[in-house]
Amino acid sequence: MQNSRQIANIALIGFMGTGKTSVGRLVAEQLHFEYLDTDELIQAATGKTITEIFKNDGEDAFRALEQKTVEELAHRKKTVISAGGGLPINPQNLVSLKKHALVVCLWASPDKIWERVKSQTHRPLLHGENPQRKIRELLAAREPFYKKADVLLNTEVRSLREVAQQVVHQFRLETAHR
């Protein structure tokens, strides 16, 4: 696996509200990399919001768009890719990302995630009656997939800036000896 990897990018995975966007932007700034977000790419390609895609076309259609978006990133260089929270559940997406990116997972507990997302409205999976329970259930189901990342970083014990520094450090370690 290691030898077939040409690491030129960083992919940030992790649950909604773990700080992928903020950390990704900071990392991109520090490394002078481009910043891309898979949700934003999907919205630009379809002209629809994520909420509209879930509502009108369904989650399966959204997941197919995610996979297509990941495949299209295969030739990127010097890019920080922020991945939608459910993207790593499709094993093909992780295999694809690992070919060209150091995959870093940002982690937080369900309580911390709830604290961070409760005032936001753009995530269709949390629009149901009991979003706190939904977070606990989804996080438990997704944990084994998130743990397939190259690096796992707990975002609760560090500021966003410290998390970004850690990501940069891990990327430099990984690419220094190549």
Q: Give 5 or 116: the residue with its C-beta nearer to ligand S3P.
A: 116
The neighbour count for residue 39, using CB atoms within 10 Å, is 23
Please report whether residue 160 would count as binding ligand S3P according to CB under 6 A: no
Please report whether residue 24 would count as binding ligand S3P according to CB under 6 A: no
**Start-to-end CA span in the chain (Å):** 15
Helix (H) or strand (E) holding 91: helix 91-100
Q: Give 55 or 161: the residue with its C-beta nearer to ligand S3P.
A: 55
Please report whether residue 19 would count as binding ligand S3P according to CB under 6 A: no
Encoded one letter per residue, x for contact with ligand S3P by CB under 6 A and - for no contact, window 115-134 reads --------xxx---------
Please report whether residue 88 would count as binding ligand S3P according to CB under 6 A: no
Per the DSSP assignment, residues forming a β-bridge with 107 are: 154
SS3 123: coil
**In the sheet that 9-14 helps form, which strands lie side by side, from edge to edge?**
34-37, 79-82, 9-14, 101-107, 151-154
Q: Compute the C-alpha angle 176/91/9, nearest 5°.
A: 25
Q: Compute the distance between CA of residue 136 and CA of residue 154 in angstroms, rounded to an integer.
A: 17
Q: Give 68 or 172: the residue with its C-beta nearer to ligand S3P.
A: 68
Q: How far is the CB of 30 from ligand S3P (least distance, A)?
A: 21
Please report whether residue 39 would count as binding ligand S3P according to CB under 6 A: yes
Which residues, numbered 61-80, are part of the site for ligand S3P (CB under 6 A)?
A: none
Contacts to ligand S3P by CB under 6 A = 16, 20, 39, 50, 84-86, 123-125
